[in-house]
């Protein structure tokens, strides 16, 4: 079974990595897809996000990282993936995630969305929160992998 895990990953957090490692142990092959052009103005360039993700998952044999443009469902199809992985944190994630999943299913019902509940310790964590904590130098090491800590230091010049 092949799956894709799409997102902005601006930057990747330990919450994302928790979802990646847990889903990689369920499926045969996991392709993490970094979405280009999704209206959000990113802090990190695509190359930086790719580098941070690749470095963070390098020890997980069945995970690869790619970038993609356009719809997740097309990204899944192009990669012959039958499953889209998404992480659920709090109840507010549920509404949007359910909408996205229903739209995707109406486009191609042969591809299923699979939700993984966040690890409890990461349920408050988002890329936005990680950026804030890094900005205030308030212990971002607990929220993101080491390569992201380094990149934050470069960005914020600390
Ligand atoms: P998007 O812009 O698509 O929401 P994100 O990079 O913010 O991209 O998130 C990608 C996926 O990872 C989403 O399914 C999101 O719910 C999930 N996710 C983000 N942070 C966490 C976390 N701390 N724990 C579990 N899942 C998470």
Question: Catalytic amino acids?
Answer: 16, 40, 89, 127
More confident residue, 3 or 93: 3
Ligand 1 pocket: which residues have CB below 6 Å? 7-9, 13, 15-16, 19, 86-87, 89, 93, 118, 122, 125-127
Q: Is the peptide bond before 11 cis (omega within 30 degrees of 0)?
A: yes
Atom of ligand 1 nearest to the CA of 85: 14
- Give first-to-last CA distance, the chain, whole Å: 43
User: Mean pLDDT over all residues of the chain?
Assistant: 95
**Share of the chain residues as helix, strand and coil, in percent rounded to the nearest 5:** 45, 20, 35
Distance, C-alpha 65 to centroid of its chain: 10
Q: How does residue 37 score in pLDDT terms, banded at 50, 70 and 90? A: confident
Cα 13 to Cα 17: distance, rounded to the nearest angstrom: 6
Among 3, 8, 16, the mutation site with the greatest number of ligand 1 atoms within 8 A of its Cβ is 16
Lookup: tokens for 81: 């993936």
Beta bridge partners of 29: 2
* Centre of ligand 1 from the C-alpha of residue 19, in Å: 9
Strand, helix or coil for residue 88: strand
57-93 pLDDT per residue, tens: 999 999 999 999 999 999 999 999 999 999 999 888 8
pLDDT tens per residue across span 81-134 = 999 999 999 888 899 999 999 999 999 999 999 999 999 999 999 999 999 999
What sections of 82-126 are H helices per DSSP?
Answer: 91-107
Mutate to test the pocket of ligand 1, among 4, 7, 116, 124 (most ligand atoms within 8 A of CB): 7
How large is the average pLDDT for residues 131-154? 97
């Amino acid at each position: 079974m092949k799956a894709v895990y799409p997102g902005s990953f601006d930057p990747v957090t330990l919450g994302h990595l928790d979802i990646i490692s847990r889903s990689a142990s369920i499926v045969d092959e996991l392709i993490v897809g970094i979405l280009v052009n999704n209206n959000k103005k990113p802090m990190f360039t695509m190359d930086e996000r790719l580098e941070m993700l690749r470095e963070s998952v390098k020890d997980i044999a069945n995970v690869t990282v790619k970038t993609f443009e356009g719809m997740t469902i097309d990204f899944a199809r192009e990669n012959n993936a039958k499953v889209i992985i998404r992480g659920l944190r709090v109840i507010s994630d549920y509404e949007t995630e359910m909408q996205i999943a229903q739209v995707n299913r109406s486009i191609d019902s042969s591809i299923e969305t699979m939700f993984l509940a966040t690890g409890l310790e990461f349920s408050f964590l988002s890329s936005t929160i990680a950026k804030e904590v890094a900005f205030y130098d308030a212990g971002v090491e607990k929220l993101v992998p080491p390569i992201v800590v380094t990149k934050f230091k470069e960005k914020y010049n600390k």
